[in-house]
Structure 1
């Protein structure tokens, strides 16, 4: 019985060493390839000069009701042109038209945020030499935790747009992109939510002495965003699976990496 337990422990130790020395590096290599492919899906400049060969993408954002319409061109992480029209209820229905012009584009910070988090994850992987030998499960878990953090923040930046107050929206730099400017009780917002580009109009109004705001919204599906989110999900799953596997070995506190006796099998 003792010999059997010793053989089992030794077998587990050999598997532990193989996972740390081989499988971790294999998965990290696979992970980097997925992240590189993910970055390629973003239509943003990938070099320091800021040059982009991506052509503007045209989208028509409409709602079910004939209250709001926006035809725009998306170039990289910026809306470089937009024709906007919408109707709001005041004492009577009032129509507004405004636009975004190429010389003053509307930035979508979520796109650049997601790319930045992907780059951070790749840097972590690149900093690990292919011949480097991990010494403990804790060391691997720390590295995977950092990578997972980058991927989760990158994915969340696209799925969960940052909530902003109506006052923040009205004072935002992007509102200065509009020509002509809108009345002070109106604010516009463009943001990404999952695979969709959303356009929203916010109207500040007083209701029984309390300031409220009403919202009009339209959206359009962006194909490359869907591809990005799929690759984010694949990378997260791959990273989490390896983390779960390493966590099993982390339960064995006496495991150390070093020269091992050969594993004998009973014939």
Structure 2
């Protein structure tokens, strides 16, 4: 109820700003018409598919690497000592700054685009997973060992379930980072994609097309985030909530 009210108020505010003539800001109906035109000629379908493929592939690769690395860092001190300095170093370097290096070593195909998105997802997820492992209650671990559980059982039955909320939060942050990096990654000689369409429209000061891409990126990102939120609720039913 309140979500729908919030959307309605946002659209109303947007319409009011457009009517005031603020720097040529297009109104909701103008953006909707432009979106319908791009959809009718097939451009929007190709752009959405291309961007979704890049984001999903980059996000899956990044999180698939981040989760085991985060577990190893949290469980073994020597692994943490070897890897953590590099993780912290690259966290301070924006993934966008890696684009020139990616182009030099990987060319201008799909690989560098997916790599930059994967890096953004990885750096966002690995710290949350690591934090989840090191904050597991030591009483639970010791209790499991007293009952005869070996390290593998402790890890599978105690550490992984207790870390799941942190992992899923990290995945949600990684998903946001993936979408945030998409537009910049499509600077790498992309022929299609929402980010590429927005950059092309910028050259011609085509604000309605820019807003179509902006709204679609937000909507797609929100839908994917809601899927992760649903998964979080299903996987952490044991967790006390307010």
Higher strand residue share: 1
TM-score after normalising by structure 1: 0.28
TM-score after normalising by structure 2: 0.30
Higher helix residue share: 2
Larger Rg: 1
